């Protein structure tokens, strides 16, 4: 079946540091890949997505590239802010019923 | 446009009691999902509706969990009787197919945090 493995946290960075959160997946066919973010006390929000190999998703300074050869979708940001502190989830969607499969989430804390 | 609404936001019950959660999806969204998010884990799909029909309930513990979406809009998720391991956040999401089919985005509500004592 489909599965997502993402870097375990927590990750603690200083403001303006470079961020990488690793994500790899196992799936049949050609899944779509997503990063969701969950701010404290709020629901999940879609951060970015990519639907085919070599696509790059980007939003709010975050980027991730769909790498089929390495089955990866690592999240990066060049300069994090305190407001980026949240839990980040990597997810894939495959199959005919649009079911999302999530990783366990990575807690990011950015200190001023 | 209004987002996905859920209530209550928090619920504390004792084991063997019953509990119900309510979800109102984004207007016009035909697909509705219920997820269970246990602390430290990613959300797990419990059940997916397309209008008022069930598309996938393969991971719903049917001996104690039930869900309905009678008019194809609002949905309720019920647990009866609750167990300690049901303590989790229950997330509702909705989505709409784009014209001509293709990709859709799931929009999540704030969730209901359940604690079973």
CA distances from A43 to A39, B62, B92, B112 (A): 7, 26, 9, 10
Residue A97 sits at the chain B interface (C-beta within 8 Å) = yes
| End-to-end Cα separation, chain A, in angstroms | 41
pLDDT score of A96: 64
Query: Residue A97: its pLDDT value, please?
Result: 62
**Predicted pLDDT at A83:** 96
Looking at the partner chain, which of B45, B103, B111 has a beta carbon nearest the beta carbon of A100? B45
Residue A62 has pLDDT above 90, yes or no: yes
Interface test mutation site (partner B, options A38, A98, A105, max chain B beta carbons within 10 A): A98
Q: Which long-range contacts (CB under 8 A, 24 or more apart) does B38-42 make?
A: B38/B87, B38/B88, B39/B87, B39/B88, B40/A104, B40/A105, B41/A104, B41/A105, B42/A4, B42/A89, B42/A91, B42/A102, B42/A103, B42/A104, B42/A105
pLDDT-derived band at A57 (thresholds 50, 70, 90) equals very high
Distance from CA of A6 to the nearest CA of B (A): 10
Tell me the two tokens of residue B6: 């859920």
Confirm if B95 and B104 have CB atoms less than 8 A apart. yes
Q: Is the pLDDT of residue A99 over 90?
A: no
Determine which of B35, B41, B43, B96 to mutate to test the interface with A (most A C-beta atoms within 10 Å). B43
Set of chain A residues whose Cβ sits within 8 Å of the Cβ of B34? none
Average pLDDT of the segment spanning A23-44: 91
Residue A103 has pLDDT above 50, yes or no: yes
Q: Are B92 and A43 contacting, i.e. CB atoms less than 8 angstroms apart?
A: no
Note the pLDDT of residue B99: 45
| Chain A environment of B42 (Cβ under 8 Å) | 4, 89, 91, 102-105
* Inter-CA distances, B93 with A87, A88, A95, B62, B117, Å: 18, 17, 18, 20, 27
Q: If chain B, 117 residues long, is cut into consecutive pieces of 10 residues, what is the mean pLDDT of each piece?
A: 90 97 94 93 93 91 94 94 97 76 78 96
> Is A25 within 8 Å of A81 (Cβ atoms)?
no
């Amino acid at each position: 079946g489909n599965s997502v493995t993402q870097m375990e946290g927590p990750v603690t960075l200083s403001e303006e540091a470079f961020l990488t959160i690793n994500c790899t997946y196992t799936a049949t066919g050609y899944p779509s890949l997503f990063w969701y973010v969950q701010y404290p006390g709020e629901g999940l929000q879609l951060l970015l997505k990519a639907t085919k190999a070599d696509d790059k998703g980007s939003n709010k300074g975050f980027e991730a590239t769909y790498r089929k050869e390495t089955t990866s979708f690592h999240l990066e940001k060049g300069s994090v802010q305190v407001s980026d502190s949240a839990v980040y989830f990597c997810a894939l969607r495959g199959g005919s019923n649009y079911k999302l499969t999530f990783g366990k989430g990575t807690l990011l804390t950015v200190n001023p | 446009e209004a987002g996905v609404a859920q209530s209550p936001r928090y619920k504390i019950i004792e084991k063997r009691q019953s509990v119900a959660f309510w979800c109102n999806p984004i207007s016009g969204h035909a697909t509705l999902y219920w997820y269970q998010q246990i602390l430290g884990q990613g959300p797990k799909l419990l059940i997916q509706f397309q209008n008022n029909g069930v598309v996938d309930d393969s991971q719903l513990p049917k001996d104690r969990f039930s869900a309905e979406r009678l008019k194809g809009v609002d949905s309720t998720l019920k647990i009866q009787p609750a167990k300690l391991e049901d303590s989790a956040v229950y997330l509702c999401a909705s989505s709409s197919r784009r014209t001509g089919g293709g990709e859709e985005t799931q929009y999540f509500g704030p969730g209901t945090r359940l604690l079973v004592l």
